[in-house]
Structure formats: C-alpha cells, structure tokens
C-alpha cells in the first residue's frame, strides 16, 4: 500500500464523512506539475475554489519544494 493510500485509509477511519482524493505520481514532471496546480487551485467540492488542505506524503526534497512553491504561489494569488 502506498503512503497516500495508507493516509486516506487512516483519515477515513477517523472521519468517514470527509472527501479525500489521492494522487500518487511524480509532481516534478511538466504534465503532472500542471495537473497538480489545477487540482490544488480548483479542487474544492464545486470546483470553483482551491482545496482547503494539502497533505504532503513525499519522500524527496524536489517534490517537497514543488509543493511548497505551488502552495505559496496559490496562497498569495487567491
């Protein structure tokens, strides 16, 4: 089981009414980076607002910095 699947399973046991989406891919590639930005910026339930929370289950510095960069960009944009 991946870390993202394990996190979803644990969080669903804590609160099954929360909607959790998981993405298990390399966000450092151009295609996945663009998808990551799209999901973060329009990931609310109705698709019109950014997500409320991002849980990072990454295990490398490059991915961690990518998440930080996108989060900071979107935080200061919205």
For 37-77, what is each residue's pLDDT tens digit? Answer: 988 888 887 888 888 888 887 888 999 999 998 888 887 76
In the chain, where the domains are located:
3-77
For 10-26, what is each residue's pLDDT tens digit? Answer: 999 999 998 888 888 88
Q: Can you give the pLDDT at residue 51?
A: 84
Q: What is the pTM of this model?
A: 0.71
If we measure between CA atoms, which residue out of 4, 65, 1 comes closest to residue 33? 65
Contacts of 25 (CB under 8 A, 6+ apart): 32, 35
């Amino acid at each position: 089981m991946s870390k993202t699947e394990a996190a979803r399973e644990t969080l669903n046991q804590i609160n099954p009414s929360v909607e959790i989406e998981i993405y298990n891919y390399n966000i450092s590639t151009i295609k996945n980076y663009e998808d990551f930005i799209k999901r973060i910026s329009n990931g609310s339930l109705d698709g019109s607002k950014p997500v409320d929370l991002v849980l990072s289950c990454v295990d490398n510095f490059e991915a961690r910095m990518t998440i930080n960069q996108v989060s900071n960009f979107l935080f200061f944009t919205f």
